[in-house]
Chain A
Amino acid sequence: MSLQVTNLRVYYRTLAGDVRALDGVTFGVADGEIMGLAGESGCGKSTLGNSLVRFDPRMRYIEGRVELEGLELPIWDNAAMNDFRFKEVSIVPQYAMSALNPTRKIGRMTAELVAARGIPPETIVPELERRLDLVGLSRDVLDRYPIELSGGMKQRMVMVLSTILNPSLLIADEITSALDVSTQKAVAEMLVSFRDHGFVKSMIVITHDVSILYQIADTITVMYAGKLAEKAPTESIISAPRHPYTRLLISSLPEVGVRYAERRLAGIAGSPPLLLDPPAGCRFRDRCPVASEQCLQEPPFVEIEAGHFAACWKVA
């Protein structure tokens, strides 16, 4: 196991009380695994991604353990975490288009950043240039300012920069959301090639777009209202989902080659519960077509067959 997360709880501090955005998640990511993390807005997927890299000032660590390569990550300690960031765990953020300092040439900013992490910048230059070639950026982007690059170029530059120190774990947070479909595909394939080249050992790809995950992910984890609903190999999630939420989520996606003129795509009725004071038991209960008395108890996240986990009384 490259990454092992155990019972991680992270809340948001607000004036109205704690928002339980991440409420006890346990999962592992194997060496070389690309894990897709899907779910609707506000389900806690970005919170999970951020808490593995850097806590937002409003985020509050409650409990849980994160182990990467057998070492515990001190995620609650911003200063101690600095040793691991970039070198062991890195992120391609949601805002990759505006992640580069507008008043520094990209090459200089890269050099200053790497030097600040105690690595002589000239030692990474050959590798940096090799990787720019790989993602199809000309080497002279290093001599340009971010404003001189297109959105897609900036995105690729950030991907190269984030992974230049070969981290064990890369978190890619909604990196395809702002792109058109053809660019999405290119970026998704780039992520796979980064793994295949060994630039990153394993990856968590956060997105609300399940179809992208179908193309690149080895496993898909579905989150709902701050908890994990289901984790399984991509094929199982797409073709044989077990959790009722996953089933509804997959069935609401259009299928290639099927015309939807005669029937409407099914959505999921209702909306997720507020996480400020979530209901006890299964959080999907109110929207679930198969809910029963038993669902007032919280279902455990258990392995129902090899490599397939789900949190539902009906499938256990």
Chain B
Amino acid sequence: MRRYFGRKLLIYGLTFFIAATIDWMIPRFMPGNPVQSLLSRSHVAPDAVPALIAYYNNLFGLDRPIWEQYLSFWGALLSGDLGRSVYLTGRPVTDVIMSAVPYTLALLVPAILLSWWAGNSFGAMAARRRWLDNAALPIGYILTATPYMWLAIVLAWILGFIFRLFPISGGYSYALEPTLTWTFVGSLFSHWFLPFASLFLVMFGGWAIGMRNMIIYELDADYSRYLEALGAPTRLVRKYAFRNAVLPQITGLALQLGVIVSGALVTEIVFSYPGIGKLTLAAIQNEDYFLLQGIFLFIIVGVLIANFLVDIAYVLVDPRTRVGMSGRSA
């Protein structure tokens, strides 16, 4: 057990190192210059430009040789400093990310977990009722196949524009200041609902189809047929089939949870929702090295942690992995 997790941790450490290096490289090899675009936005007198460029290059450390930048990147990273955002004129990257994270988490965690739970339950149910299978499964396929942006826009149009049930943009009403009052919480909720519902619907269809297919496969497996030949009640056979069918779904869930911190880029853009996804877009558009680097780093760590948690979960639910790591052969 310890050897298994030791090896896993080593692999995760190595992955982190390589990913962080690539993360540092990507913005620097992008075309364009962040300091130039910063200055071009802020109406500086033309003769002051060279001086300002030199000043900012020095401030952000961009005038130093590339290997020195790389070493200082690791030095700062290990002391928990992700640098300062160029585009938000000097706010620490950590602060910027942290202010966007709650929105992303509040949107994606419930959407992913609820759609996983509901989709799997529904898929398992569809696998045993023909009418449900025939009637509801096509809906699942349509939901999954629908281009997400289109679905989101349709939802916003029907529920937000025609029926005026929910606001269609922002994280809370622009007329409010963030305070801990019921009005503000209510505003948060009504702004949260549409992005949540659109994500939920799309993911729900995918989980339901996957689960339905897995259950049908498991019910045809030898162990199911043997139980039936021994007169086991349907309840027991289904229970076993469900438990085995859910294993690949757990892997799927892990992958989804891993990219959670990257936010739902499209959702957040369609609904102007102030999460990590929208921040990523802004960072790219403004060539903000440090912000982009920080966001990617955040995503890398998120994916690694989620994978590690799933490794542990798998050991708990699937005995075959346990046998594999203790080295006992079948």
- Look across to chain A and name the residue whose beta carbon is closest to the beta carbon of B317: A103
Q: Check if A101 sits within 8 Å of B244, measured CB to CB.
A: yes
B48 within 8 A of A: no
Q: Which label, helix, strand, loop or mixed, suits the secondary structure of the A interface?
A: loop
Known: A93-B225, A95-B222, A102-B223. A148 touches B231 (CB 8 A): no
- CB-CB under 8 A from B45, the residues of chain A are none
Q: How many angstroms between the C-alpha atoms of A115 and B77 in the bound complex?
A: 58
Known: A101-B240, A103-B243. A85 touches B323 (CB 8 A): no
B233 within 8 A of A: yes
Known: A113-B232, A145-B319, A148-B330. A99 touches B226 (CB 8 A): yes
A residues 90-148 touching B (CB-CB < 8 Å):
90-91, 93, 95, 98-105, 112-113, 116-117, 145, 147-148
Known: A147-B323, A150-B330. A98 touches B223 (CB 8 A): yes
For A147, give its contact among B222, B235, B320 (CB under 8 Å). Answer: B320
B149 within 8 A of A: no
B229 within 8 A of A: yes
For B244, give its contact among A98, A103, A116 (CB under 8 Å). Answer: A103
Q: How many angstroms between the C-alpha atoms of A53 and B225 in the bound complex?
A: 11
B residues 232-256 touching A (CB-CB < 8 Å):
232-233, 235-236, 240, 243-244, 247
Report the minimum CB–CB distance from A95 to chain B (whole Å).
4
Report the minimum CB–CB distance from A184 to chain B (whole Å).
21
- Look across to chain B and name the residue whose beta carbon is closest to the beta carbon of A98: B222
Q: How many angstroms between the C-alpha atoms of A58 and B197 in the bound complex?
A: 42
Report the minimum CB–CB distance from A26 to chain B (whole Å).
24
Most buried by A among B221, B230, B317: B230
For B328, give its contact among A54, A102, A148 (CB under 8 Å). Answer: A148
Q: Check if A145 sits within 8 Å of B231, measured CB to CB.
A: no
Report the minimum CB–CB distance from B270 to chain A (whole Å).
41
Q: How many angstroms between the C-alpha atoms of A147 and B243 in the bound complex?
A: 17
- Look across to chain A and name the residue whose beta carbon is closest to the beta carbon of B230: A86
Q: Check if B320 sits within 8 Å of A93, measured CB to CB.
A: no
A235 within 8 A of B: no
- CB-CB under 8 A from A82, the residues of chain B are 231, 233
A246 within 8 A of B: no
Q: Check if A117 sits within 8 Å of B328, measured CB to CB.
A: no
Q: Check if A116 sits within 8 Å of B233, measured CB to CB.
A: yes
B228 within 8 A of A: yes
- CB-CB under 8 A from A83, the residues of chain B are 231
Report the minimum CB–CB distance from A295 to chain B (whole Å).
38
Q: Check if A85 sits within 8 Å of B233, measured CB to CB.
A: no
Q: Check if A113 sits within 8 Å of B228, measured CB to CB.
A: no
Q: How many angstroms between the C-alpha atoms of A301 and B323 in the bound complex?
A: 54
- Look across to chain B and name the residue whose beta carbon is closest to the beta carbon of A53: B229
Q: How many angstroms between the C-alpha atoms of A161 and B301 in the bound complex?
A: 48
Known: A98-B223, A102-B223, A116-B236. A162 touches B230 (CB 8 A): yes
Q: How many angstroms between the C-alpha atoms of A83 and B233 in the bound complex?
A: 10
Q: How many angstroms between the C-alpha atoms of A214 and B273 in the bound complex?
A: 78
A81 within 8 A of B: yes
- Look across to chain B and name the residue whose beta carbon is closest to the beta carbon of A56: B225
Q: How many angstroms between the C-alpha atoms of A126 and B283 in the bound complex?
A: 70
A149 within 8 A of B: yes
Report the minimum CB–CB distance from B129 to chain A (whole Å).
16
- The contact sample of 5 A-B pairs, CB cut-off 8 A, is A85-B230, A90-B230, A99-B226, A104-B240, A145-B319
9 closest pairs, A vs B, by CB? Answer: A85-B231, A99-B226, A98-B222, A86-B230, A145-B319, A82-B231, A95-B222, A101-B223, A86-B231
Beyond the given A98-B221, A103-B320, A105-B319, please list 17 additional residue pairs across the A-B interface where CB-CB is below 8 A: A81-B231, A83-B231, A85-B230, A85-B231, A86-B231, A91-B230, A93-B222, A93-B225, A98-B223, A99-B225, A102-B320, A103-B317, A113-B236, A116-B233, A145-B319, A145-B320, A147-B330
A residues adjacent to B (C-beta < 8 A):
53-54, 81-87, 90-91, 93, 95, 98-105, 112-113, 116-117, 145, 147-150, 158, 161-162
